[in-house]
Chain A
Amino acid sequence: MNRSKSRMTKDLTCENREKEDMIGVCETVFQVENLDAWFGEKHVLRKVYAEFQSCGITAIMGPSGCGKSTLLRSLNRLNDSVPTFRLQGKILYRDQEVYEISDLAAFRKRVTMVFQRPNPFPMSIFDNVAYGPRLQGVRGKTNLQAIVQQALEKAALWDEVKDELKKPAVRLSGGQQQRLCIARALAVDPDVILLDEPTAALDPIATTRIERLLEEISSEYTVLIVTHSMGQALRISDQVIFIYEGVVVESGDTNLVMENPQHELTKKFLTGRIG
């Protein structure tokens, strides 16, 4: 899959023209059509239509329990391991039907994920970042070292940990652990990075660092983030999708939606009356 955004092959739907000029052009990475999802009897997503572009950051926003995480986790099929999960509809990843992909491992290297709570593996900092490349068969210390350094640099963590790469990752602070998890995701050289409320467990300073980092990497990777904080969506996202009780209420350019919401529910959410 071609990740460089210089070649435009797909239709241009990204509304943020300014950003486009800066980072190249937008391609549709994910297209969700008529998606319904259930956990057991609970109907968590209803008739969802959505499009995710490669340019900038797209935020999926909504109150707790609205189905935003379910939508995100459906994109890389992480819900598959939940026995009661059921899904109907269509998700296309670069024109490929996601729920028909047979080589899930290879697909998840392209569409990787960072979670709400920092979840470093019980191993050293180095081994955490090298885990993905090793799975892909990268061998040799120099090769791995180069990949690990690059990923940690991109995640703005290299300077803090370069002298203690052998230290257990769990000894890092929460914010550092989360940046390590981002570095770990970047090390597999993905196309898309899905983030499920990545700053929910962090303090404001660590949150700011992560947000800045996401803005930086968004020029190179497609970044989709789930957040229940409209402040965060406003600060970092270019596109926003607002979900309420499993239904997509409104979507579009973040500034437009925030400044001039079309739907009553969006207005209520933005003014803090729901959520």
Chain B
Amino acid sequence: MVEAIIRNLFRFITYLIVAMVLFVLGYIVAPGFRYIFQQGFLTEFPRSGMTEGGIFPALVGSAFMVLLVFAISVPLAILASIFLSEYLKGRLSAIFQSICSTMTAIPSIVYGLFGLVFYCVQLGMGTSLLTASLSLSTMTIPFIVTSTTEFLKAVPVDIREAAMSLGASKFQVSIMVIRGAWKGMLTAVLLGMGKSFGETAPILITGTVFYATQLPRSIHDPVMALPTTIYAIVVNLGERSQWMAQGTASLMVIFVVIIYSAIQILRGVRKG
């Protein structure tokens, strides 16, 4: 009897949480969903004080930013995590890992401030696509390093020793370990990219503009981005522009759902 009550209580709570998540998703996606398919929403520049047109430059800006963050952070983070798990043993490795995981807990606005002070001002790079991507990368790298290192360390020592016993060099052993962990590593990279795609604070003050009439001509130009566009419209503009924020929010949630679904599918493959 008591067991049945407890079981039903747990079941109720679980369903409640799932329902809440679905409600939140629906509440965000539903109002803006139709604007995504509105003529020109994805392909036009915003017009008339963002009351008409589309979010094309923000879409392009966010895409460039994710690509740049990918190009900067993934090679560095992957190499660092291989070094931490395979080459640097003992205490020093543990210290580096705990530094990285501490960095993942730092609020993202702090990375924005760091980017503004260091990249934009100290290094004199100004606000641009590049400095925004660097600020985002500064935040993403420790995140990818932390989770990738965990996946690499989870590869059984047996696999390393088997490779060693067949005459594999240190480097060849590392390749084998990466083979064993690649799905996890890919998951970590996708999570990192998803994170950098959605972050607003680090790019708000380091390289994005609220309104652009043309696409960036180089990585030294500032750009529009999806999350900052939502912020800009909601904070600065009137009722007649809000639909554009709704459409953008809806689009972002759909993107995030796609990215995380891909991760779930990957995890499923790993189980099989």
- In the bound complex, residues from chain B placing their C-beta under 8 Å from that of A122 are 159, 179-180
Question: Which residues from chain A contact B166 at a C-beta distance below 8 Å?
Answer: 108-109, 112, 131-132, 135, 184-185, 188
Q: Tell me which residues across on chain B come within 8 A of A136, comparing CB atoms.
A: 167
Name the one of B90, B167, B179 contacting A121, with C-beta atoms under 8 angstroms. Answer: B179
B258 sits at the interface (CB 8 A): no
Q: What separation, in Å, do the CA atoms of A190 and B51 have in the docked complex?
A: 75
Question: Do B168 and A78 touch across chains, with their CB atoms under 8 A apart?
Answer: no
Number of A-B contacts (CB under 8 A): 61
Q: How far is the CA of A204 from the CA of B256 in the complex (A)?
A: 51
Q: Is the CB of A119 within 8 A of B179?
A: no
Distance of B25 from chain A, by nearest CB (Å): 35
**Subset of 7 A-B contacts with CB under 8 Å:** A78-B164, A106-B167, A108-B164, A108-B166, A109-B166, A113-B161, A188-B167
CA distance A78 to B165 in the complex (A): 8
B264 CB-CB contact with A under 8 Å: no
Interface positions, chain B 156-193, Cβ under 8 Å from A, are 156, 158-169, 172, 176, 179-180
Q: How many residues of B contact A (CB 8 A)?
A: 19
Residue B11 at the A interface, CB < 8 A? no
Q: What residues of chain B lie closer than 8 Å to A271, measured between beta carbons?
A: none
**Apart from the given pairs A81-B164, A105-B169, 13 other A-B contacts in the complex at a CB distance below 8 Å:** A76-B165, A78-B161, A81-B160, A83-B90, A113-B165, A117-B158, A119-B156, A122-B159, A122-B180, A135-B167, A135-B172, A136-B167, A184-B162
- Residues of A close to B161: CB separation below 8 A: 78, 81, 113, 115, 119
CB contact under 8 A between A123 and B158, given known A105-B169, A184-B166? no
A233 at the binding interface (Cβ < 8 Å): no
CB-CB under 8 A from A147, the residues of chain B are none
Q: How far is the CB of A70 from chain B (nearest CB, A)?
A: 14
B window 90-114: CB within 8 A of A: 90
Q: Is B89 an interface residue (CB 8 A)?
A: yes
Nearest B residue to A184 via CB reads B166
Binding site for B on A (CB under 8 A): 76, 78, 81, 83, 105-106, 108-109, 112-113, 115, 117, 119, 121-123, 131-132, 135-136, 181, 184-185, 188, 194
Q: Pick the contact of A112: B156, B159, B165, B172 (CB < 8 A).
A: B165
CB distance from A198 to the nearest CB of B (A): 12
Least CB distance from B83 to A in Å reads 16
B89 partner residues in chain A, CB cutoff 8 A: 83
- The 6 A-B pairs with the shortest beta carbon distances in the complex, nearest first, are A109-B167, A119-B158, A113-B165, A132-B166, A105-B167, A108-B167
Whole-angstrom CA separation of A113 from B179 in the bound complex: 21
Q: Which residues of A contact B180 (CB under 8 A)?
A: 121-122
Given A121-B163, A122-B179, answer yes or no on A135-B158 (Cβ-Cβ < 8 Å).
Answer: no
Interface pair B164/A121, CB less than 8 Å apart: no
Residues of A within 8 A of B160 (CB): 81
CA distance A76 to B161 in the complex (A): 11
Closest to B182 in A: A122
**Are the C-beta atoms of B164 and A119 separated by less than 8 Å?**
no
> Measured between alpha carbons, how far is A40 from B241 in the docked complex, in Å?
69
Q: Closest approach, in angstroms, between the C-beta of B184 and any C-beta of chain A? A: 12
Write the chain A residue with the least CB distance to B183: A122
A170 to B169, CA, bound (A): 24
Which residues 113-163 of B have a CB within 8 angstroms of A? Answer: 156, 158-163
Chain A residues closer than 8 Å to B156, beta-carbon distance: 119
Chain A residue numbers with a CB within 8 Å of B90 are: 83
A112 to B158, CA, bound (A): 14
Which listed residue (A83, A106, A117, A185) contacts B165, Cβ 8 A?
A185
A136–B166 CA distance with the chains assembled, in angstroms: 9
Q: For A188, what are the chain B residues with a Cβ–Cβ distance below 8 Å? A: 166-167
- How far, in whole Å, are A119 and B109 apart by their CA atoms in the complex? 46
Q: Contacts of A184 on B, CB cut-off 8 Å?
A: 162, 166
Asked whether A115 lies within 8 Å of B162 as measured between CB atoms, the reply is: yes
Which residues of the partner chain A approach B167 to less than 8 Å between Cβ atoms? Answer: 105-106, 108-109, 112, 132, 135-136, 188
Q: Which residues of A contact B172 (CB under 8 A)?
A: 135
Which residues of A lie under 8 Å from residue B168 when comparing CB positions? 105, 135
Closest Cβ of chain B: how far from A108's Cβ, in Å?
5
B270 to chain A, nearest CB (A): 10
How far, in Å, is A109 (CB) from chain B's closest CB? 4
Of B156, B164, B172, B176, chain A has the most CB atoms within 10 Å of the CB of: B164
Complex Cα distance A81/B55, Å? 55
Chain A residues with CB below 8 A from B164, complex form: 78, 81, 108
Among A78, A115, A185, max chain B CB count under 10 A is at A115
